[in-house]
Structure 1
């Protein structure tokens, strides 16, 4: 039982990061079976980024520069996975005239104007939000809570929306039940505990932002894809930094 859960966690780390996760042993868990681990992987990512940002600040690096380098580190840790998803999502949703064309654009590796704008704005908001909280007592809790909540939002969209394609990540990850979100919800409660009442507002706003992405995806392409899931994570994370910068640093 424990070995199976550890293998599923390995798959989660491999799916969401470029961090070393060791060798998988047969039988290899499916993505659907491993989806419960997404918020846990998020907690690890948040902790690493907190350590990087705190270390840079301790070395005397200005808050804005520390924020830029921390966002860069996050992109390297995740392999830019969610940024790619957001760019493809923006290009496909607003660049196509029907479902087939939108899905075709989302699968294209090239980035269009909508994708570029989405990336610029998302990075700008992340850097601004981290800068606002840099050096505050809530910085560590903010990094971890935003990372956990955003992966939980991604998991929720995966469970709620049907796959838009008959192949790809979104299709291969289907099959989990809502119970798989319970461990992540518990981690989210713990992660948000240090933020006090701000955690409730944070959770609501991030959930609403994820619901918006899900609504657009359902209306425009009929369901979720890997790009939709990546966009969900990043859009909800951006919303989280906006909320925390307003409530804590504002």
Structure 2
């Protein structure tokens, strides 16, 4: 059995790797990113997402205390989370939309996805993503409820990423996803457990169940689409997956607010 001190050291190292992987927070990794370290650390992605959600919630709460309307506060919260992540997931969503919509062959789709320029499909995808998330947060309104929704969304949206990486092979031998490697089963299970816990504590069992069902369906649909379009997943696909999950969770939270749940 691993000594407790060594176990704690590894947990902290994984948290630092996961945080540096999905945010721009300058957290130096305590162990090398090679040799499968990133794949092993994917269990901590929900924890990294928790930090992003807290940052967005703090921005929303501050804006509300200053007397700003829910719509303005929601926009500032989204700006904060986008800044903290360096628009990593939004970039993936835009590239995926451009590649799938603008390419005719697998090779052309992958080429478009690697192009730093954004096209019409990418612009439309980003407008829809920001629009849906903004509408959901503004509809929720209350800062305390928005805080819980953002925490649930950002933690759980990343919880399925290890499973997606494990079940769907990389579409090409290079790139972010391929270099990270396939997460081990224990990382997949731990990430899923943390995401489920965040959903349940933040939104309650009923809403958490609805969210998990929708996230699973989103993962299955995107996985099938990615395999058919480009033969697997890439870092851009993972970003698009996170965005879809984030949107769904926020919509679930908003719909239950208006249903009186």
TM band (smaller chain):
over 0.9
Corresponding residue of 1:146: 153
Which of these residues, 92, 101, 111, is aligned with residue 104 of structure 1? 111
Do 1:64 and 1:127's aligned partners in 2 also have CA atoms closer than 8 Å?
Answer: yes
Do 1:214 and 1:232's aligned partners in 2 also have CA atoms closer than 8 Å?
Answer: no
Matches within 5 A, 1:76-225: 76-135=83-142, 137-194=144-201, 195-196=203-204, 197-225=206-234
> What TM-score do the two structures reach when normalised by structure 2?
0.90
CA–CA distance in 1 between the matches of 2:8 and 2:147?
29
CA–CA distance in 2 between the matches of 1:43 and 1:175?
23
Corresponding residue of 2:251: 242
Do 1:163 and 1:225's aligned partners in 2 also have CA atoms closer than 8 Å?
Answer: yes
- Tell me how far 1:119 sits from its aligned partner: 0.5
> What TM-score do the two structures reach when normalised by structure 1?
0.94
CA–CA distance in 1 between the matches of 2:129 and 2:24?
21
Do 2:176 and 2:235's aligned partners in 1 also have CA atoms closer than 8 Å?
Answer: yes
- Tell me how far 1:193 sits from its aligned partner: 2.4
Asked whether 1:66 is paired with 2:84, we answer no
Do 1:206 and 1:237's aligned partners in 2 also have CA atoms closer than 8 Å?
Answer: no
Task: Output the aligned Cα RMSD.
Answer: 1.6
Corresponding residue of 2:4: none
CA–CA distance in 2 between the matches of 1:201 and 1:175?
28
Any unmatched runs of 5+ in structure 1? none
CA–CA distance in 1 between the matches of 2:29 and 2:197?
29
Do 1:150 and 1:233's aligned partners in 2 also have CA atoms closer than 8 Å?
Answer: yes
Aligned residues: 249
Which of these residues, 9, 15, 19, is aligned with residue 9 of structure 1? 15
